[in-house]
Structure formats: C-alpha cells, structure tokens
Amino acid sequence: MDFTVALAQIKPKLGCVADNLALAEAAVADAVKAGAGLVLFPELALTGYFLKDLVPDVAVRLDAPEIIRLQELSRHIAIVIGCVEVSSDYRFFNSALYFDGGELKHVHRKVYLPTYGMFDEQRYLARGERFRAFGSRFGRMGILICEDMWHLSAPYILAMDGATTLLCLSSSPGRGVSEDESLGSTAAWQKLTATTSMFFNCRVLYCNRVGYEDGVSFWGGSEVVSPAGSVTARGKLFEEDLVVARVEEGELRRERIFSPLMRDESLSVTLKELERIDRERGC
C-alpha cells in the first residue's frame, strides 16, 4: 500500500531517557500532523550513542513505563525507535522496537556490534542473534541497526524472508573530511543505501541522528530510497529535521517486474554453498 513515512532526525541527549522520550513524543506529534503512517527514529534515540558505563543505567525492560508510553503513542502512528533493552537475565541489547496499533509488534537486537576504531559496542552490549522479517500494515519489513547494514548477509536474509521495506536506524559519526564534496561517512552510507536497495529491490528507509558527543558529530542526511536505488527524500546534513515522504506501492511493483532479482535468487544454491564453506572451515 501507499503510505507516508517520517524520518525523525533528532539530537538525543546522552544518557537522558526522559528528555529523549519527550523529543520523541514531539516528533511523533509532528509526524502525525504531517500525515505520516510510520515514523522512524535513529539508533539509540532514547539514550544517545557513546554510553560506555551508562548502558545499564539507561536500559529499559520491555514493560518499562517509557515502552508503555510509546505503545500508547503508536495508536495513531507506527513508531520505530532505538533504545538499550535489558533482558530478564541482564543482558543489554542495542535494540530497535516497532510499535503499531498500541502494541509492541517486533524487536530487533543489533547483531553486528562494531568494536574497532572509534567504536566499542561489544564491550558494553550483548549481541543479537537473529534477522527476521515481519508483517506490518505497510507490507513485510525488516529492521537493521547501523553496522548490521554493512554486512551484506543481513539485508540478504531479510529480503529472502520476504521484506520489501528495510528500516535502518543509525548513529553514524561524521568523519573523513577530504577534498571530496561529501564527508567520507556520508558518501559511504549513500552508496550503501542505494546499492542495498538495488541488490534486493527493497525500499530503504534510513534514519540517522545529528548532534555532537565528546567532539564527534553525527551527520544526519536521513533518506528514503526507492527499490530502484534512487533517493526520494533526504534530510539536512548536521541539523535536526523531519523528513516526510510518500512511499508508493507502484514503485515497488514496477521495480520487481523490471528487475526480478529476488524472484530469481536461489536460496538453495546459497544455502548449499554456505554449508559447504562451513563444513570446509570446520576441517
């Protein structure tokens, strides 16, 4: 179906869940006013990114009052938002929650926790163990959190699981100023979202945050990418924004006819070869 999406390019405060929930509530209200059926927030929107030892302090259980509040807000609009989720055995996950119709419908726990260079996620967070597509009133979807998207197998699994919309929540730090027109991280992500959507004939809804944490900027530039890899709407760089765009079912239908890559993709060949590789590696 056709729908309107809003990408809430916010500037979370580091470690301040109540303040960030208020930011989210305001953005949800704006998105509803703009006629959106779905609003997407960045990775760790409820907490900020460079949390380090704050992780346990800002984590929420899935029955926490903040989660109940987001459930209530989702009576009017579907909401996807990032937070730190704590499980009953006290593992802390970098999670994305999908709410709709007053209920929590789907949880994705970030699988690929970058722990290199400027990143230190695996030190503080537990790793998710699955990529699962899920049904929504906008069609079948899959969620990726930032680094997940850099592992081609992740969108591959979601696309093979029937997702036609990939939701990507991001906290991408700005880095790589050269003579080029764009920041290194901006150029890399723009290539990635366009290529991913083309490889899998999926639309990509990418929401990145803005603001600074300890001198590190987050560059924004949230975007709606069509299943053919073209950008339909893009947010401002480095500034808060609410990107509102119309997503058309016809675009997906036509792209799947022009370029039936997913129809032709052989799950059995892939599986057979991956199993062989796994066997051979085990030797």
Binding segment for other proteins (CB under 8 A), chosen from 52-60, 189-197, 257-265, 267-275, is 52-60
Q: Which of 15, 114, 139, 229 binds other proteins (CB under 8 A)?
A: 15
Binding segment for other proteins (CB under 8 A), chosen from 74-82, 89-97, 173-181, 268-276, is 173-181
Q: At 190, is the secondary structure helix, strand, or coil?
A: helix
Q: Which of 89, 90, 129, 215 binds other proteins (CB under 8 A)?
A: 215
Q: Which of 63, 89, 179, 280 binds other proteins (CB under 8 A)?
A: 179
Q: Is 13 in the site for other proteins (CB under 8 A)?
A: yes
Look-up: residue for tokens 């987001």?
Answer: 70
Q: Is 190 in the site for other proteins (CB under 8 A)?
A: no
In the chain, which ranges are E strands? 3-9, 38-40, 78-86, 92-100, 103-109, 134-136, 139-145, 165-170, 203-208, 210-213, 216-219, 223-225, 231-234, 241-247
d(CA 231, CA 170): 17
Q: Which of 84, 145, 183, 194 binds other proteins (CB under 8 A)?
A: 183
Structural contact between residues 82 and 94, judged by C-beta atoms closer than 8 angstroms: yes
Tally of residues, the chain: 283
d(CA 39, CA 4): 9
**Whole-number minimum distance, CB 52 to other proteins, in Å?**
4
Q: Is 121 in the site for other proteins (CB under 8 A)?
A: no
Q: Is 188 in the site for other proteins (CB under 8 A)?
A: no
Q: Which is nearer to other proteins, 47 or 164 (CB)?
A: 47
Q: Is 51 in the site for other proteins (CB under 8 A)?
A: yes
Cβ neighbours, 10 Å, residue 132: 13
**Whole-number minimum distance, CB 222 to other proteins, in Å?**
17
- Cβ-proximal residues to 247 (8 Å cutoff; 6+ apart), any chain: 2, 3, 4, 5, 138, 165, 203, 205, 224, 232
| Residues between 53 and 92 that touch other proteins (CB under 8 A) | 53-54
Looking only at the bridges linking them, the beta strands covering 231-234 and 223-225 are antiparallel
The residue ranges that bind other proteins (CB under 8 A) are 13-16, 50-54, 174, 177-183, 211-215, 217, 237-238
